[in-house]
Structure 1
Amino acid sequence: MRPLNALRCPVVELRQYTLHPGQRDVLIELFDREFVESQEEVGATVLGQFRDLDAPDRFVWLRGFEDMPRRAKALKSFYGGPVWQARRDEANATMIDSDNVLLLRPPSAHGGFPVPVEARPLPGEPSPSPPSLVLATIWYGRDPFDTTFVEFFERRVRPVLAEAGCEPLAYLQSEHAPNTFPTLPVRMNEEVFVWFARFVDEGDIDHCLNRLHLSVRWREELLPALSERWARAPQQLRLAPTQRSVLR
């Protein structure tokens, strides 16, 4: 049994799929029905699956593992198993590209995704939780996001985000261990720091980001320090959880 203070999913994939026009709901219906329990039965954790509000043909999902060797074992079992073999042509027919994948890890014991407070609804069953949105913010670094940066984020950046209403739900950084399942490519040559926050709706996202931008500490102290580290402009994904996403 894993100790209570251990990280949940020390290895996480952030997967962004570009789909053929009009095929996102087709894939989501298939995914939520066929590809959740079948992955978790072999050792993966489906952390969340989403519609990207700003890209109608993008499907985003998060998958976690206990470590890299068990990632390899779980992926080999799933993609070689009966469910994927029976449904892969149907799934692949919806996709233009499925290789936009970041391999991530929590940088500290405080950064991982929380254990869900309620069970995932069964296929076709309504969620007991009200709808919500998740904002994923990706910072691209010139250099690795080292321990000093993580301490800076936790001690100085995170409190300001929380004051603005953007309290990080989880935060992750690049995992540079060799890809233990090379059949599925990942973006290995990038330094990223990704944080996730949860909101009631789009208006809530806008309100909280506006409060952040009006913060004197953010504008005059933190943003200049962060900008010096960025290799390019940050990316923000506004994500609407599917009916069976446990992250919602």
Structure 2
Amino acid sequence: MNIQVEVHCHTNVVKHAYSTIIEAVQCAKEAGLRGVAITDHGPELFDGAPLLYFRNMDLISDEMYGVRILRGVEANILDADGRIDLPPEVLGRLDWVIASIHAPEFEASDYEACTSAYLGALDNPYVDMLGHTGRGRFFYDYETVIERLVEREKIMEFNEHSFDKPGAEERCLEIAKLCKKYGARACVGSDAHFAAAVGEVPRTLQMLKEIDYPENLILNLNADCFYDYIENRKHRLAKLK
């Protein structure tokens, strides 16, 4: 079991990451990946990429070194309504949108507010995937959110970087088991902040292997399957215009 597309990768456009887009693509090539999504933090994070960066992402090549480049964002969920920090006219120009909670941009940390925030984000037609929900202090009603995720045909991320956070391994395992129970689609992301980490997801894959998570539900294990999702996304969003 190996991923073929990296779905969560940061570049030095944000100041707590250390590599360029080209370096990320080169490392994706070296790792044998067929694609990499560039998903820098949205503008409301303390050092997030500015709005103009996302407006101009169509300037990035579709492919380099035989690796497909997906233009994306890790958008910040800002409040209990699930509002995120890019407007629809920009989100609609991207290939891939992750919605995540970060501190201090999301100030509320109680169970009800976090649950409501994730539910609201899932109702946003431009959001594709919830990012790293198993880490940090943002606890939520796992079953309620996962049921909504399946209803909305969205994706849950299993995030390699989460395993660095205290207590996250147990939370990620619980979330993974519930996602399996409800038949949730998933992706595995490295959350790389340095190019050498692109595609490096051994702990996450081991967790999913141990619980026998259905491989057909992990979209980025197969690049063609993931790209089918991207094409279907384009057709779905075109109907909103």
Interval of TM-score (by shorter of Structure 1 and Structure 2): under 0.3
TM-score scaled by length of structure 2:
0.28
TM-score scaled by length of structure 1:
0.27
Higher strand share: 1
From the CA coordinates, give the structure whose radius of gyration is larger. Answer: 1
Q: Which structure exhibits the higher relative contact order, with contacts defined as CA atoms closer than 8 Å and separated by 6 or more residues?
A: 1
